[in-house]
Chains A and B, each alone.
Chain A
Amino acid sequence: MNTVLELRSLTKEYPGHLAVNRVDLAIAEGEFFSLLGPSGCGKTSTLRLVAGFEEPTSGEIFLERQSLAGIPPYYRDVCTVFQNYALFPHLTVAQNVAFGLQRRKLSKSAISEKVQQVLALVQLTGKESRLPQQISGGERQRVALARSLVLQPKVLLLDEPLSALDPKLRKQMRHELKALQRRVGIAFLFVTHDQEEALSLSDRMAVMNAGRLEQVGTPRELYTRPASRFVAEFLGEVNWVNGAGVRPESVRVSRDRPGDGVRALQAVVEGSTFLGNCVHLSTRLTDGARCTAELPHSDFQTGDTVHVWWYSSDELRVTS
């Protein structure tokens, strides 16, 4: 796999605030890479540094081994899909998509052909002459994608592109986004604070915290082998028992003492929450710690004495 985008010790410092702290990252051609983290962790700042809207305090960015230092955004072969799309309100859908193409020396017919192709790709054929305020949120999202994809950038930067959509549409667009990325084969650098989005979309991902990359890897690696408490907790719920973490879905509960070869502890049921597809059973261990189990169904009552247990292979071992 060839590296298309590389960040070397990238740092951005604002007065009294280190937004991006020595970030090293390499993204491969055609890869769907997510930067996941809470708001203010520096993920959007990183994106803005790559796009060229801000200059790094130190460190370097390489696009296909070319340093981007001092190159203004309009000469960088990367495109951004903005959080609120930033579509030009005075231009139609087709004119928005053609905007970038007009900066290149292309004939009018070549431009309109490319516009038609990309609009077909994002299923917006027939909406060419609408203005951005005359189409739905999901359609605006697709115009923003089309506007960037039509330029065939080396890397497409996406800044929480799904966050402005309502939850149902968000899930649908998630699938479309992934399918689109596979079809165009362009590397996506996707910024989000939604762990479900990052886990379901990414080939690889990084969890970011306070300007630093906590861990980089595939979604499965990060979920099952988190390097830190922060990563473990950001990607899902964790019970911390004697320094080891265990996810609620790994926890089993029984009235009888389980056999040998598993970790088992005695606990008292404190309550249960019915969630439709599963039940969250909260228990308190004898040492006072809480342990939540995610069960398909449960007939345990509050106050019941039970055994909670799990396989030691399911334990998360974090170093920090």
Chain B
Amino acid sequence: MTRLRAAFLTPAAGVMFLLFFVPLLIVLAYSLLSRGAYGGVMQPWTLESYSRVFDSLYLEIAWRSVWIAAVSTFLCLALAFPMALFIARSTRHKLLLLNLVMLPFWTSFLIRTYAWMFLLRDTGLINTLLLATHILKQPLPLLFNTGAVILGLVYGYLPFMVLPLYATVEKLDPALLHAAADLGASPWIAFWRVIVPLSKPGIVAGCLLVFIPCLGAYLTPDLMGGGKTVMLGNLVQNQFTTARDWPFGAAVSLLLMVVVLIITRALWRHSEELI
């Protein structure tokens, strides 16, 4: 039995070890070395990269990443909850609606981001329409700002919030909502006192699935923010490319990982208490 179990585990464990754990060790080693003149790393070993992380410039980027990710997560939650409830309640079109939620995954995220840029830029669809109909004289600055980044993140990660929420809301016994109404709770009160507490596992899972990738997002702030809204992902990417400071890039990405781990631990522990 144990041998069989080991046989099933080995391939996945091997892949994880070779392609996740070993690269992680390499990144850790990089972060402790000095930068090479043309990129790459060289001796001697040093903690210098880690001390630079606490420079106010980088703390500002870290803080911006956290709040953008938090706002995006909150917006996803606010948008996804009604959607999840609606899908769970619908009787005939459940499968169709779920497929629509997952439909964006059929094309690449990059292409979908370009589509948003096509919509939002000064000569884009929305501004062209607004100008052509003389509603506006000047195009609205819809792209290349923090708002555009948040929009892109919310759009991109909304399905990751909808799906876990749907999974918990769908299991909710409709009799509990009847009971709440029966005991005098309006739909609004029943939502907060019954649906939300019982959906905690889905809320926690959804928030983790959205917050973590948002925190390390790189493509969306780069394209939709036009390089003006720098987040941690862009900082890391920058260090490995133009800045040619691999040790610092490695240190930032490891710190990002530590922050994510701490947040994940805290949220899971919180949700375990509730269940």
Interface residue ranges, A against B (CB under 8 Å): 51-53, 72-75, 78-80, 82, 84, 86-90, 99-100, 103-104, 147-148, 151
Q: Do B274 and A90 touch (CB < 8 A)?
A: yes
Which B residues lie within 8 Å of A89 (CB)? Answer: 198
User: Besides the contacts A74-B182, A78-B182, what 16 more A-B pairs have beta carbons closer than 8 Å?
Assistant: A51-B178, A52-B181, A73-B182, A74-B183, A74-B184, A74-B185, A82-B179, A86-B178, A87-B179, A88-B176, A90-B197, A99-B180, A99-B185, A99-B193, A100-B184, A103-B189
Which B residues lie within 8 Å of A80 (CB)? Answer: 178-179, 182
Q: Do A151 and B184 touch (CB < 8 A)?
A: yes
CB nearest to A91 among chain B residues:
B197
Interface residue ranges, B against A (CB under 8 Å): 173, 175-176, 178-186, 189, 193-194, 197-198, 274
A-B pair number, CB within 8 angstroms: 59
Most chain-B CB neighbours within 10 Å: which of A72, A73, A80? Answer: A73
Contact of B181 among A53, A87, A88 (CB under 8 A): A53
Which A residues lie within 8 Å of B189 (CB)? Answer: 103
A155–B175 CA distance with the chains assembled, in angstroms = 19
Which B residues lie within 8 Å of A99 (CB)? Answer: 180, 183, 185, 193
Q: Do A88 and B179 touch (CB < 8 A)?
A: yes
A87–B184 CA distance with the chains assembled, in angstroms = 15
Contact of A84 among B175, B180, B197 (CB under 8 A): B175
The answer to whether residues A86 and B184 also contact, given A80-B179, A99-B193, A103-B189 and a CB cut-off of 8 A, is no
The answer to whether residues A151 and B181 also contact, given A84-B175, A86-B176, A90-B197 and a CB cut-off of 8 A, is no
Which A residues lie within 8 Å of B185 (CB)? Answer: 74, 99, 103
Of the A-B pairs whose beta carbons lie under 8 Å apart in the complex, a sample of 11, sorted by A's number, is A72-B181, A72-B186, A74-B185, A74-B186, A86-B179, A88-B179, A90-B274, A99-B180, A99-B183, A103-B189, A104-B184
Q: Do A79 and B194 touch (CB < 8 A)?
A: no
Most chain-B CB neighbours within 10 Å: which of A72, A75, A90, A100? Answer: A90
CB nearest to B196 among chain A residues:
A90
State the Cβ distance, B202 to closest chain A Cβ, in Å: 13
State the Cβ distance, B126 to closest chain A Cβ, in Å: 41
CB nearest to B183 among chain A residues:
A100
Q: Do A79 and B183 touch (CB < 8 A)?
A: yes
Which A residues lie within 8 Å of B274 (CB)? Answer: 90
Which B residues lie within 8 Å of A148 (CB)? Answer: 182-183
Which B residues lie within 8 Å of A151 (CB)? Answer: 183-184
A51–B173 CA distance with the chains assembled, in angstroms = 18
State the Cβ distance, B184 to closest chain A Cβ, in Å: 4
A80–B178 CA distance with the chains assembled, in angstroms = 9
Which A residues lie within 8 Å of B184 (CB)? Answer: 74-75, 100, 103-104, 151
Which A residues lie within 8 Å of B179 (CB)? Answer: 80, 82, 86-88
CB nearest to A98 among chain B residues:
B183
Contact of A86 among B175, B186, B193, B197 (CB under 8 A): B175
The answer to whether residues A79 and B176 also contact, given A90-B197, A103-B189 and a CB cut-off of 8 A, is no
Contact of B198 among A74, A78, A90 (CB under 8 A): A90
A139–B173 CA distance with the chains assembled, in angstroms = 20
State the Cβ distance, B193 to closest chain A Cβ, in Å: 7
Most chain-A CB neighbours within 10 Å: which of B175, B179, B189? Answer: B179
Which A residues lie within 8 Å of B186 (CB)? Answer: 72, 74
CB nearest to B176 among chain A residues:
A86
The answer to whether residues A88 and B194 also contact, given A82-B175, A103-B189 and a CB cut-off of 8 A, is yes
Q: Do A53 and B183 touch (CB < 8 A)?
A: no
Contact of B178 among A53, A100, A103, A147 (CB under 8 A): A53
CB nearest to B194 among chain A residues:
A88
State the Cβ distance, A181 to closest chain B Cβ, in Å: 19
State the Cβ distance, B203 to closest chain A Cβ, in Å: 13
CB nearest to A147 among chain B residues:
B183
State the Cβ distance, A242 to closest chain B Cβ, in Å: 49
A117–B191 CA distance with the chains assembled, in angstroms = 29
A52–B181 CA distance with the chains assembled, in angstroms = 9
State the Cβ distance, B86 to closest chain A Cβ, in Å: 19
State the Cβ distance, B270 to closest chain A Cβ, in Å: 14
Q: Do B178 and A73 touch (CB < 8 A)?
A: yes
Q: Do A74 and B193 touch (CB < 8 A)?
A: no
A86–B183 CA distance with the chains assembled, in angstroms = 12
A103–B185 CA distance with the chains assembled, in angstroms = 6
A176–B193 CA distance with the chains assembled, in angstroms = 31
State the Cβ distance, B271 to closest chain A Cβ, in Å: 12
CB nearest to A99 among chain B residues:
B183
Task: Name the 3 nearest CB pairs between A and B, nearest first.
Answer: A100-B183, A103-B184, A86-B175
Most chain-B CB neighbours within 10 Å: which of A78, A87, A99? Answer: A99
